[in-house]
Amino acid sequence: MTDLDALSHLIRADAEARGQTISRLGYFCAPFRPDSGPLSDRVVKVYRGLRDVAALERLHQCHDDYVDALLAGGVPMPQTEFHLLDLDGAKVPVIVQEALPVDSLMRPLMQDAPVAATLEMMEAAGQVIARFWHWAEAQEGRIGFHPSIRNFAIIDGDAVFFDTFPPLIHYSRDEMGRMLLTFSDKRLMRVIGPLMQRRVTGIQDEWYSPAETLVGLVGSACRLRPDHAAAYLDWGRDFVGREMTPWADEALAGLNAPPKLPGYWTGFRKLLGLQGEPNV
């Protein structure tokens, strides 16, 4: 169990004392791993605090339920805890997660590995996607999954998923659309986002579609290694026929050519400085 006093002290510390920032490309926060101390084997993710205690308590429950759902759906995950900390007059959501080896992160592995090895990684991630959606098909209520290349690590040949925020369970489409603004780490997004609420709300739609999550994985690979897009498209078409037959027709329609991100989402990421190269 996490020492909450140590966690609060760490979060209040300056950036240098916090330790290594794992990624600066996150939409909601910049996860970091302390260099030393009782949390040095953990990644810490600090989200925007709110004064709406009821909303935060609901968020806490939804997050716990979502982690349970992912595990029940056969999604390998590091140990993950959600806490609400009292910091500077507001309750702040914090996720503390077992740290995965930096050299296991799927995105940099995909960038550098031989094509055959990247296809093995795609198969590992695809198996997690298929397993989850076959399980979710029998569940009641709205539940989603965001299995992008950025959200996986590859450990001993298996894909391990580590993105649990926002919790894609229990919230309606409109509620999740508002959450995408409320918890954005970027003030600019919170200011201009309400002017484009319909498009912001649409960002989530892929996460609730079995076919689109698989197509999205293939699209990320094609953008990351465009010279090998044909190999990833071939893999995707074969995979949906083998492992995702209930959604094969819809997925195949999106795999005729390298899938592209919606223009508005690419624009948002450019505006917010969240571009990766070349996987944007």
Most confident of 7-11, 37-41, 231-235: 231-235
Quick check: 51 and 90 in contact, CB under 8 A? yes
**Overall average pLDDT of the 249-254 stretch:** 97
Residue 223, pLDDT above cutoff 90: yes
Instruction: Provide the terminal-to-terminal Cα distance of the chain, rounded to the nearest Å.
Output: 36
Predicted local confidence at residue 185, as pLDDT: 72
Q: Same domain, yes or no, for 43 and 139?
A: no
| Whole-number percent of the chain with pLDDT over 90 | 66
Query: What single-letter amino acid sits at 180?
Result: L
Distance between CA 216 and CA 219 in Å, rounded? Answer: 5
Q: Give domain status of residue 10, yes or no.
A: yes
β-strands 42-46, 80-87 pairing:
unpaired
Q: How many domains does the chain have?
A: 2
What one-character DSSP code corresponds to residue 151?
Answer: G
Q: Which residues are within 8 A (CB) of 18 and not within 5 positions of it... i.e. 6 or more apart?
A: 10, 11, 32, 34, 44
Q: Same domain, yes or no, for 92 and 126?
A: no
Q: Same domain, yes or no, for 17 and 64?
A: yes
Residue 277, pLDDT above cutoff 80: no
Q: Same domain, yes or no, for 84 and 113?
A: no
Q: Same domain, yes or no, for 86 and 115?
A: no
Among 66, 98, 130, the domain-final residue is: 98
CA–centroid distance for 259 within its chain: 19
Domain containing residue 42:
4-98
pLDDT digits (tens, 9 = 90+) for 52-61: 999 999 999 9
Map residue 201 onto helix, strand or coil: helix
Map residue 159 onto helix, strand or coil: strand
Distance between CA 97 and CA 44 in Å, rounded? Answer: 6
**Overall average pLDDT of the 96-121 stretch:** 96
Q: Same domain, yes or no, for 106 and 240?
A: yes
Q: Give domain status of residue 133, yes or no.
A: yes
Q: Give domain status of residue 278, yes or no.
A: no
